Amino acid sequence: METQIHDFINFLKYIEQLSTNTVDAYQRDLIQYKDYLEQQNLTFDNVTHVQLSQFLRDNEKNSSSIARMASSLRRFYLFLKVNRVVSADPTQFLKVKSSSHRLPKYITLSEFESLISFNLEKPEDYLDRALIEILYGSGLRATECIELKEDHYFPKERMLRVLGKGQKTRVVPLSRASIQALNDYFTNARSIWLTKSSSYLFINRKTQPLSRHYLYNMLKRRSQQAGLAKNVSPHILRHSFASELINHGADLRVIQELLGHSDVSTTQIYTHIDSQAKKKEYNNFHPGQYIKHKEEGEGEEK
């Protein structure tokens, strides 16, 4: 069984290219699972979903940790099944109770498209669209968004370097729609307002960095303009980002890294959306990759 775990860990490292912390978390979970199977004289191939459920109940203390372990095992068995190491997947019938956390509010894709459908007539419109695309397309917190610096943006790589809670840095992908909105913002707003030097990515007419107050008020105003039943906030867009990824099958730990959560149990709250087989992550699943706006073009330069 150690061989199968070793092969899976190498797959995560070199094919999926997950971070060291994420790979280590998978390895800890699977070693714990292997030890349990050996104690019960079981193997990966002959364990039943009933025995698997018993393992989770016996070894995990709360619903969040059970969900985390279940996520690890589902991905591991998908790997084993694809490589024909096992004939059946006991996680297929595994039922895990949701965490008792209050479910996050989010908007649907159609609501997001309504939110973003305002006309681009003045510089502030280009600024607002770029902000909304970034919040929804990369799952940033409000403070993370307004504190972005210009040199945190890598258009050719389609990446942002984000300084999160606890001064922890992470790198997040950008959707094609976000790249387009940022290019439009640079051309039609930032370049016009930049009368003095500023290192901030997002600025106002006075070349000052944006405030959280601006962000929240802007989203409230745009929500009302779109006729939405609820006022959208930066956190609702962040929740929507995570919910869309989970709804389309993205791995829980990858979402954890994208959101900058220190503990996967925090990310687990988003699994109220159906979690399916996990194969590919952000680029294949996030709808921002495919949304077309009135102004086409994916230009890669600022």
Which pLDDT band, with edges at 50, 70 and 90, does 300 fall under? very low
CB contact at 8 A, 146 and 209:
yes
Residue 230 and residue 193 share a domain: yes
One domain for residues 122 and 211 = yes
Has residue 124 got a pLDDT over 90?
yes
pLDDT average, residue stretch 27-42? 90
Out of 93, 117, 141, pick the residue that ends a domain: 93
26 and 143 co-located in one domain: no
Q: Do 74 and 16 fall within a single domain?
A: yes
State whether 89 and 134 are in the same domain: no
Domain that holds residue 77: 1-93
Residue 272 in domain: no
Q: How many domains does the chain have?
A: 2
CATH number (domain holding residue 205): 1.10.443.10
Q: Is the pLDDT of residue 292 over 60?
A: no
Within 10 A of 252 (CB to CB), how many other CB atoms are there? Answer: 24
In-domain check, residue 87: yes
Top-confidence residue, 51 or 271? 51
Beta bridge partners of 163: 169
Instruction: Give catalytic residues, as residue numbers.
Output: 141, 165, 235, 238, 261, 270
Indicate if 157 and 58 belong to the same structural domain: no
| 268 is a domain residue | no
Residue 280 pLDDT exceeds 90: no
pLDDT confidence band for 8 (50 / 70 / 90): very high
Whether 288 has a pLDDT exceeding 90, the answer reads no
What band does 279 get if pLDDT is binned at 50, 70 and 90? very low
Residues 66, 132 within the same domain: no
**Given 31, 63, 93, which residue is the final one in a domain?**
93
- Based on the fold, state whether residues 137 and 188 are members of the same structural domain: yes
Q: Is residue 98 part of a domain?
A: no
Q: Is the pLDDT of residue 168 over 80?
A: yes
- Residues 142 and 222 reside in one and the same domain: yes
Position 260 confidence tier, pLDDT thresholds 50, 70, 90: confident
Residue 78 lies in a domain: yes
Whole-number pLDDT of residue 263: 66
CATH number of domain containing 38: 1.10.150.130
pLDDT at residue 287 above 70? no
Is the pLDDT confidence value at 39 over 80?
A: yes
Which of 33, 64, 93 is a domain's end point? 93
- Residue 297 maps to a domain: no
The answer to whether residue 274 scores a pLDDT higher than 60 is: no
* Same structural domain, 53 and 140: no
> Do 82 and 114 lie in a common domain?
no
pLDDT reading at 59 higher than 80: no
Q: pLDDT by residue (tens digit) across 207-238? A: 999 999 999 999 999 999 999 988 999 999 99
pTM for the predicted model, two decimal places: 0.59
Rounded distance between C-alpha atoms, residue 289 and residue 97, angstroms: 32
| Res. 299: pLDDT tops 90 | no
- 254: its two tokens: 């990858």
Please check whether residue 183 lies inside any domain of the structure: yes
Residue 75 and residue 119 in one domain = no
Q: Classify residue 247: in a domain, yes or no.
A: no
